[in-house]
Amino acid sequence: MAADATQTEAILLVDQRDGIATVTLNRPRQYNALSQALLLELRDAFTALAKDENVRVVILTGSGKAFCAGHDLKEIRASDDAGTHHALFSLCSEVMLQITRLPQPVIAAVNGIATAAGCQLVATCDLAVAVEEARFATSGITLGFFCGTPGVAVSRSLARKHALEMLFTGRFLDAREAAAKGLVNQVVPAAELEDTVLALARTIAEKPPAAIQEGKRLFYRQLEAPLDEAYALASEFMVCNLADPATQEGIDAFIEKRPPRW
């Protein structure tokens, strides 16, 4: 994997075991800021994981004290070229869309601060578990830089007024407030983060992969559809899902009061 010029360590780590892939942002000295190189690494990793039938769940986390501090502002300010900036933000948006379109559920294991595009990452992931010390903000506005692309993801996780408060003020949410507003699912002590996320991942990984993967795809398709179209999509999905032998086995097991044999 690629490395920053100032370090020899890989800037993205991917570990796979027991059907669970853990993807770790590894720029701890830069608070895991999303440089162009790191975004390219993420894009390549997600492309590979999407094709890997052995992976049932993906965990996304950061190394060091931060989850992700957003874009690398030093890198951004090194160029005044609008084309360069457009390419960077397009690449970031491509990576965010990959997470949503990845067949496997993606869980954010939020080990520290998540700001701007880092908060966008959390909001984009399907599920999120955060440590008690984690804090969240779309803080670009404090620099005069409205978090437009983070706002796309945040506005789809939070109620409109909560999202706009974050975007207009740059105020940090602590982990408990983030959970109350729907940005994360659970808040746990730091010592329990890994075990909690793995337990959640294993629970999902035990389910038939086709139902999980097609269910995720349906969820995001119907979410943006008009109500009648959403029901039409969901009804067609239910018909197809019922034809799956794994689903039939699950229903038969329930009727016969036994564990399913998947």
CATH number of domain containing 89: 3.90.226.10
Q: Residue 7 has what pLDDT?
A: 52
Is 261 part of a structural domain of the chain? no
Is 91 part of a structural domain of the chain? yes
Is 235 part of a structural domain of the chain? yes
If asked whether residues 22 and 118 sit together in one domain, one would say yes
Q: Residue 1 has what pLDDT?
A: 45
Is 108 part of a structural domain of the chain? yes
Q: Residue 9 has what pLDDT?
A: 87
pTM of the prediction?
0.93
205-235 pLDDT tens trace = 999 999 999 999 999 999 999 999 999 999 9
CATH number at residue 215: 1.10.12.10
Structure tokens at 261: 């044999």
Number of separate domains in the chain: 2
If asked whether residues 131 and 217 sit together in one domain, one would say no
Is 18 part of a structural domain of the chain? yes
The answer to whether 93 touches 203, Cβ cutoff 8 Å, is no
Domain extent for 96: 12-205
Q: Residue 262 has what pLDDT?
A: 83
Q: For residue 172, what are the CA distances in angstroms to 78, 138, 150, 162?
A: 27, 8, 14, 12
Exposure string of 3-35, with b = 16+ CB inside 10 Å and e = fewer, is ebeeeeeebbbbeeeebbbbbbbbbbebbbbbb
Neighbours of 85 (CB within 10 A): 13
8-state DSSP, 238: H
The answer to whether 253 touches 261, Cβ cutoff 8 Å, is yes
Q: Residue 242 has what pLDDT?
A: 87
Could you tell me the mean pLDDT of each successive run of 10 residues in the chain, 262 residues long?
59 97 98 97 98 97 97 93 94 97 98 98 98 97 95 97 98 98 98 98 96 96 94 92 90 91 85
Is 16 part of a structural domain of the chain? yes
